[in-house]
Structure 1
Amino acid sequence: MPDRDALKPDRRALLLAGAGLALTGPAFAAETSAPLTDLPLAMPKTEFVYEAVVEIAPMVPLGESPLGERRIVPITGGVFQGPRIRGTVLPGGADRQLVRKDGVRRLDALYEMKTEDGAILTVRNQVLVDPGRDGAPDYRFSTIDVTAPEGPHAWLNRLVLVGTLASLRPAREAVLVRAFRLA
């Protein structure tokens, strides 16, 4: 018959094990905890909506603020297209930027796009750019809000869009925005 005391872990071992679990953080808890409900976990999927080549003018510095360096990048034109939509990016919009003290950039672009059939879409693209550290790539993802007039493009008003951003420099003074709907 085994010794009962030999089967009981000592208090120190239990405390160290508990501390180890606490240090692994929420990721470990999510993997080992039971679901909160019996509803199946439905991971979002994405579907390509459009890509836009947005032409830009040189950046204009706006000065330091308590939150970081402020600047603005005028939008001068461009083109966009996707499976159900295409047209031009209108000049006159701008990308307002905040470069935080930690190097992360918050971009808030507001501009209009005109579809082939003449509808004017208003786009607000809010991007977070975290420069890659230690050889890692930049993190460049956004939420995109498109407001369309009633009519053939009203379907855009009922979507949650996420996006990616890539610079096209030095080949051209433009950025590439790709928009995907969450499904």
Structure 2
Amino acid sequence: MTLPTPGLEFLAHVEVELDAPVDLGVTDAGHRRIVPIVGGRVTGERFSGIVVPGGADWQAIQADGAITIDTRYLLRSDDGADVYVRTAGVRAGPPEVLAALARGEEPDPSSYYFRVHATFETSAPRYACMTRVLTVAVAARRASQVVYDAYVVT
């Protein structure tokens, strides 16, 4: 038996607008930071729309500066369908690059590792296919945005 080799199919380009982070400091769960999501845009042939304000990224910051990503927010398609999205992943890299990101600088995305996977939930039949696939994304942090290209694993 030969199993199929997975591939990647482009789903969408996502630009998530962020507000200033709220740093909770070190809690029982570790160093916690919450980054409010205030808007954005999704563009792709299979799905296009906006990022609805109101979500957030509940980050856990590791001792070496790496961040565990845990976002939850709402997308609204150009044709009015709501899609709940949740991403999980990691942003890690050399200490000097992570320090530059923390200062709001925009180092080359190839100088650090920022990957997430996304899951979707919707009651809109035309987007139900998004709830039945595994999606991975490569991301970059900008001063007030996270941008990522999402791909369906075939």
TM-score normalised per structure 1: 0.72
Matched residue, 2:135: 161
User: SS state of the match for residue 152, structure 1?
Assistant: helix
Alignment of 1:42-57 (within 5 A): 42-57=4-19
Aligned-partner Cα distance in 2 for 1:72–1:150: 29
Aligned-partner Cα distance in 2 for 1:45–1:66: 40
Matched residue, 1:141: 115
Aligned-partner Cα distance in 1 for 2:29–2:130: 33
**Structure with more contact order per residue of length (Cα contacts < 8 Å, sep ≥ 6):** 2
User: SS state of the match for residue 103, structure 1?
Assistant: coil
TM-fit CA distance, 1:42: 3.6
Identity of counterpart residues, as a percentage? 31
Q: Deviations over 1:99-143 (max 9, x none)?
A: 111322101010000001111000001121111369882111111
Aligned-partner Cα distance in 2 for 1:134–1:174: 20
**What number of residue pairs does the alignment pair up?**
142
User: SS state of the match for residue 80, structure 1?
Assistant: strand
Compute the RMSD of aligned alpha carbons.
Answer: 1.9
One-letter identity of the residue aligned with 1:79: R
User: SS state of the match for residue 93, structure 1?
Assistant: strand
Aligned-partner Cα distance in 1 for 2:3–2:124: 34
One-letter identity of the residue aligned with 1:143: H
Q: Which has the higher strand share?
A: 2
Q: Which has the higher helix share?
A: 1
TM-score normalised per structure 2: 0.84
- Runs of 5+ consecutive residues of structure 2 not aligned to the other structure: 98-109
Structure 2 contact 7–153 (Cα < 8 Å) conserved:
yes
Matched residue, 1:62: 24
Aligned-partner Cα distance in 2 for 1:150–1:119: 6
- Runs of 5+ consecutive residues of structure 1 not aligned to the other structure: 1-38
Structure 2 contact 64–95 (Cα < 8 Å) conserved:
no
Aligned-partner Cα distance in 1 for 2:4–2:125: 31
Q: 1:120 to 1:134 in 2, by over 3 A?
A: closer
Alignment of 1:1-80 (within 5 A): 39-40=1-2, 42-66=4-28, 68-80=30-42
From the CA coordinates, give the structure whose radius of gyration is larger. 1
User: SS state of the match for residue 128, structure 1?
Assistant: strand
